[in-house]
Amino acid sequence: MWRRNLLARIAISRDLCAREPVIRSPFVDRWKKPFSTSSEEQEAATEAFVSRPTKGLVYGRLNQLGKNTLKTDIIHFFDGCNLTLSDIRFDYNRSYNPLGAVLQFPSKGPFDAAVKLLIRKGRLYRLEKADRSQWDLLTSYDGKTVLIQGVPRNASFDDVERVLSGCNFDSSSIQMFVRPGFPDSVRMALVQFPTRLEAMNAFLTKNRSFCLNNPISMRVLQ
């Protein structure tokens, strides 16, 4: 008797389980969705990434510079190309004559604008594409260093200081050296100044003066 009752209860519970609705969690359905979008959406995203304009510094080498060309001359020539004094580095030879200058543009747009300006203004300079390594190799004197040429061989550091009397300069920065010249080699000196203004003031007031009765010439290095 008790066995028949037990079998009846088991049958009833199985029937109720079969009729009970299954409740599915919405979180299960969410995680079952694929992560990738449709093929059309993927292609559109890829195309947008490829066509996105790349931003970054662009370098150009400017040739055919004059010996007395200044950074400000280049900035004024390329007006509207977003160049600043810190975006220009001159390339000098061993005698400190400019071979050219490397320009750092904020992006490709200003570089292209500079090329168009050269064409419109008659190609006074020659601008060609450069890379970052050319920029890194150059020293920027930043208009604060003055080159003195024609220093007598027997001149001392004190003699150079006397030439610059009345100017504000760093006396510990004076360097003297000899470079080949024609018909004789030339002795030179480099002197650093605190600001561009003081370096230019020394050039304007002391250029073509004398050191131990020898005429000297001066130039502000960029």
Helix (DSSP H) and strand (DSSP E) numbers for the chain: 8, 10
Q: How many angstroms separate the CA atoms of 135 and 129, rounded?
A: 12
Distance separating alpha carbons of residues 115 and 127, to the nearest angstrom: 7
pLDDT for 36: 38
Token digits for 23? Answer: 């409740």
- The pLDDT of residue 45 is 40
Cα angle vertex 193, ends 160, 63, to 5°? 100
- pLDDT in the model for residue 125: 84
Mean per-residue pLDDT of the chain: 81
| 218 vs 24, residue with greater confidence | 218
Count CB-CB contacts under 10 A for residue 169: 20
Same fold, 58-136 and 145-221: yes
pLDDT, mean of residues 73-100: 95
| 58-136 CATH pick, 3.10.180.10, 2.60.40.10, 3.30.70.330, 3.30.1540.10 | 3.30.70.330
- 147-163 per-residue burial string, b: 16 or more CB within 10 A, e: under 16: bbbbbeeebeeebbeeb
CATH architecture of the domain formed by 145-221? 2-Layer Sandwich (3.30)
Q: What is the mean pLDDT of residues 158-187?
A: 92
Query: Is residue 93 within 8 Å of 99, Cβ to Cβ?
Result: yes
Sheet holding 126-130, edge to edge: 88-92, 98-105, 58-63, 126-130
Mean pLDDT of 5-26: 45
Burial of 166: CB neighbours in 10 Å, binned 0-12, 13-18, 19+: exposed
> What ranges do the domains of the chain cover?
58-136, 145-221
Q: Say what the pLDDT of residue 9 is.
A: 53
Share of the chain above pLDDT 90, in %: 63
115 vs 37, which has greater pLDDT? 115
Q: What is the pLDDT of residues 96-117, one digit of tens each?
A: 999 999 999 999 999 999 999 9
Strands 210-211 and 98-105: unpaired
Residue 43 has pLDDT above 90, yes or no: no
Q: What pLDDT, on the 0 to 100 scale, is given for residue 33? A: 39
pLDDT of 116: 93
